[in-house]
A and B are shown apart, each in its own frame.
Chain A
Amino acid sequence: MTRIFVPNDTGARSVGADEVAAALMNAQVVQSGLATIVRNGSRGAYWLEPLVEIDTPSGRIGFANVTVDDVAGLFADGLPDQTHAKCLGVVDALPWFAGQTRLTFARVGRIDPLSLSDYRALGGFAGLERGCTMDAKAIVDEVTVSGLRGRGGAAFPAGIKWNTVRNANAPQKYIVCNADEGDSGTFADRLLMEADPFQLIEGMTIAALAVGATRGFVYLRSEYPHAAQIFGRALTIAREAGVLGPSVLGTAHTFDITLRMGGGAYICGEETALLESLEGKRGTVRPKPPLPALTGLFGCPTVINNVLTFAAATDVLARGAHAYAGLGVDRSTGTMPFQLGGNMQRGGVVELGFGVTLRDLLERFGGGSYSGRPLRAIQVGGPLGAYLPASQWDTPLTYEHFAAIGAMLGHGGIVAFDDTVDMAAQAEFAMAFCAHESCGKCTPCRIGSTRGVEVIQRLRRRENPRLQWQVLEELCETMEFGSLCALGGLTPMPVRSVMKHFSADLLPSAGGGSVTVEVGR
């Protein structure tokens, strides 16, 4: 029977995929039993959504931006109508996909996210099955040799973290997955959990074997209700199949995962605040040391990694450390699922080995701005990342190259702005967002961010601008060096990038307009 794929992720649904699926259910080919509908995850090409695909002997034929009105015309004589104006031909052959190096996202969009047989058919559990035959030290060594670094933003070597937990002597250890993907411009964690949830389960289980943990938590943000639903079902299926539970894949290992929802606090993406929140407290930041690897959840040794880090670990085990380390450049090994968003013609997840330039990503994959106007500023790395002017777009996307220009890759979110952007408003928003989300534990972040908003507002009103400029510089320094965690410590990064590269917006000439920045509820 011909399969018709209609994505069932948050993005595709947000532009009408459910309505298209419902219309297809009533279509002649489905009603007559010649075709069946599969709700796959999105492939992450959001500019094509809703992207309907139909099986053919030559591959899956795609139709882009399908509406309910298009449904009747997708088939001609029981076959996909390849003369249809919205027909893309074979989806895998599109340059946007063919030009990527998809490891973590290899299955995403191809499979029914909740089908274990689909998962296995495309290489799922190969990493865990290999892990089950290795001793704990060998697993950790494999991850260390791969050079895999934390994909949540801090880029700490995963192998070193895992080894610390493995060597800790404690009766109880935990695996915690940070799925509190709060950075604007990032959606790879969400897509992975909605489109290939077993991969996260597999990666966390590998970590559990490596360090000797029996219990895991996924801390998911409440802004992702659909991911919660799909991942929750995946956990149940994994338990019923014996992947999780008292005997992981038939071995003597015990491991299970609990899904916990956040409460709408950005700071809980910071690992120690996340642990506090899991313990049922206010999500305030803990001073480090002690490291969570030694004194983590409930005071026990804890591996806490991002969704994409655990997911990448499955590839490291399945392909071997050297194959993984062969991708990327220098100390940025492997691939990164970059996320193109904002004012971008072809937004979505683009997974590539580290080292491609930002410009290549923006032009070859992103296709320039959505509005058709010239791009002016690109924010990389979420709300705490720098705004980059065109002169910096040739920087290779690696952790080191970005650090060298006062920027960061963070979680790989890339947000494009066209030339209508008021960069002073963006600088003010950076401070306002920090003020809104600060946990309040340390003064530089709690007070500094509010003072930052005030100073930038005065600058924009041209009240003694030279003095305000100096105050803002000093304030940024205080926040950077005096804050307890990355929220206060990195908020100066976007602000300084505006001061350095877009100063004309921050020091407007007479008559310059301004945008009101609203933050709050």
Chain B
Amino acid sequence: MTIDPTREQAVIADLLAQTPTDAEHLLPLLLQVQAAVGFVSPQAIRQVAQAFNLSRAEVYGVVTFYHDLREAPVGDHVIQLCMAEACQAVGCRELAAHASQKLGVPLGETTADGHVHLEAGYCFGNCALGPTVRIGDRIVGGVTPARFDELLETLPGRHGNTRPVAGESAA
């Protein structure tokens, strides 16, 4: 997942134009940058810090604190496996082992082709219907290894389609 720096700058400038720049709007803005660009680059930090009249260190501190904010791009699709207790009780550790083997990467890494980033999540509030998996804003319950494989097959771009680029229109 990459984005042209000029385009990134324009996307962020657009977002900045629509937000007040009191400190209380910093995290919401950074979450928007993350959603639009896929990560928060050093360039983005510089741009945001200037707009909010904060030091780069302050913004960097916020970026590194929150798990949702990434400093570097990851795969086209982020798949989060809930690894918290309620899902542990119904086999999420076994599911994680299967997923890692199937994709050839441990939790926290991206497949070599950049298609899937696999990682742990901690609770999607679906604790009576685990194991639970999150893909984008979709929460899926009762995920067996076989169901996981089906979910993988439904991801767009799996079979050589053009990969969607974050920040660009999917169309």
A and B interact: yes
| A223 and B123 form a contact (CB under 8 A) | yes
The yes or no answer to B12 lying at the interface (CB within 8 A) is: no
| Chain A residues positioned under 8 Å from B28 (CB to CB) | 260-261
| B130 and A342 form a contact (CB under 8 A) | yes
Tell whether A342 pairs with B89 under 8 Å between CB atoms, given A10-B125, A11-B126, A518-B107. yes
Tell whether A263 pairs with B66 under 8 Å between CB atoms, given A342-B90, A417-B89. yes
The yes or no answer to A184 lying at the interface (CB within 8 A) is: yes
| Chain B residues positioned under 8 Å from A344 (CB to CB) | 128
Which of B134-142, B153-161, B163-171 is near enough to bind chain A? B134-142
Q: How far is the CA of A261 from the CA of B108 in the complex (A)?
A: 23
Residues B77-130 near A (CB distance < 8 A): 82-90, 93, 96, 106-108, 119-130
Q: Total number of A-B contacts with CB less than 8 angstroms?
A: 173
| A346 nearest CB neighbor, chain B only | B128
| A181 nearest CB neighbor, chain B only | B125
Tell whether A342 pairs with B86 under 8 Å between CB atoms, given A46-B129, A280-B62, A521-B107. yes
Contact-size category for B: 35 or more
| A222 and B68 form a contact (CB under 8 A) | yes
The yes or no answer to A139 lying at the interface (CB within 8 A) is: no
Q: How far is the CA of A343 from the CA of B124 in the complex (A)?
A: 16
Q: What's the minimum C-beta distance from A361 to chain B, rounded to whole angstroms?
A: 13
The yes or no answer to B7 lying at the interface (CB within 8 A) is: no
Tell whether A226 pairs with B66 under 8 Å between CB atoms, given A182-B122, A280-B25, A415-B86. no
Tell whether A10 pairs with B139 under 8 Å between CB atoms, given A263-B65, A519-B83, A520-B108. yes
Tell whether A184 pairs with B62 under 8 Å between CB atoms, given A520-B107, A521-B120. no
The yes or no answer to B72 lying at the interface (CB within 8 A) is: no
Q: What's the minimum C-beta distance from A445 to chain B, rounded to whole angstroms?
A: 15
| Chain B residues positioned under 8 Å from A222 (CB to CB) | 31, 68
| A14 and B126 form a contact (CB under 8 A) | yes
| B126 and A264 form a contact (CB under 8 A) | no
| A515 and B127 form a contact (CB under 8 A) | no
| B85 and A426 form a contact (CB under 8 A) | yes
| Chain B residues positioned under 8 Å from A436 (CB to CB) | 122
| A341 and B120 form a contact (CB under 8 A) | no
| Chain B residues positioned under 8 Å from A415 (CB to CB) | 85-86, 89, 127
| Chain A residues positioned under 8 Å from B26 (CB to CB) | 280
| Chain B residues positioned under 8 Å from A416 (CB to CB) | 89
| B65 and A10 form a contact (CB under 8 A) | no
| B125 and A223 form a contact (CB under 8 A) | yes
| A429 and B88 form a contact (CB under 8 A) | yes
Tell whether A264 pairs with B128 under 8 Å between CB atoms, given A223-B121, A370-B90, A415-B89. no
Q: How far is the CA of A227 from the CA of B124 in the complex (A)?
A: 11
Q: How far is the CA of A156 from the CA of B58 in the complex (A)?
A: 34
| B70 nearest CB neighbor, chain A only | A521
Contact-size category for A: 35 or more
The yes or no answer to A444 lying at the interface (CB within 8 A) is: no
Q: How far is the CA of A191 from the CA of B61 in the complex (A)?
A: 33
Interface centre among B26, B27, B86, B141 (most CB of A within 10 A): B86
Partner of B23, one of A263, A280, A343: A280
| Chain A residues positioned under 8 Å from B107 (CB to CB) | 518, 520-521
Type the 1/0 row for B21-59, where 1 means its CB is closer than 8 Å to any CB of A.
011111110110000000000000000000000000000
| A46 and B128 form a contact (CB under 8 A) | yes
The yes or no answer to A421 lying at the interface (CB within 8 A) is: yes
Tell whether A342 pairs with B127 under 8 Å between CB atoms, given A264-B66, A518-B107. yes
| A348 and B25 form a contact (CB under 8 A) | no
The yes or no answer to A402 lying at the interface (CB within 8 A) is: no
Interface centre among B84, B119, B132 (most CB of A within 10 A): B84
| B117 nearest CB neighbor, chain A only | A521
- 11 A-B residue pairings within 8 Å (CB atoms): A10-B124, A184-B85, A184-B86, A186-B123, A187-B127, A263-B27, A264-B68, A277-B27, A341-B86, A342-B85, A415-B85
| Chain A residues with a Cβ under 8 A of chain B | 10-11, 13-15, 46-47, 49, 181-187, 189-191, 222-227, 260-266, 277-284, 298, 339-344, 347-348, 370-371, 379, 383, 413, 415-418, 421, 426, 429, 433, 436-437, 439, 515-516, 518-521
